[in-house]
Amino acid sequence: MGKIRVGFGFDVHRLVEGRELWLGGIRLEHSMGLLGHSDADVLIHAICDALLGAANMRDIGYHFPDTGEEFRDIDSKILLRKTVELIGTKGYRVGNVDATVCAERPKLKPHIPAMQVCLAEVMGIDADDVSVKATTTEKLGFTGREEGISAYATVLIES
Nearest Cα to Cα of residue 158 among 111, 109, 95, 104: 95
Nearest Cα to Cα of residue 38 among 53, 19, 52: 19
CA dist 1 → 36, 117, 132, 158, 159 (Å): 40, 28, 27, 9, 9
Determine the Cα–Cα distance for residues 17 and 8; give it in Å rounded to an integer: 30
Binding site per annotation, positions: 11-13, 37-38, 45, 59-61, 135-138, 142, 145
Binding site per annotation, positions for a divalent metal cation: 11, 13, 45
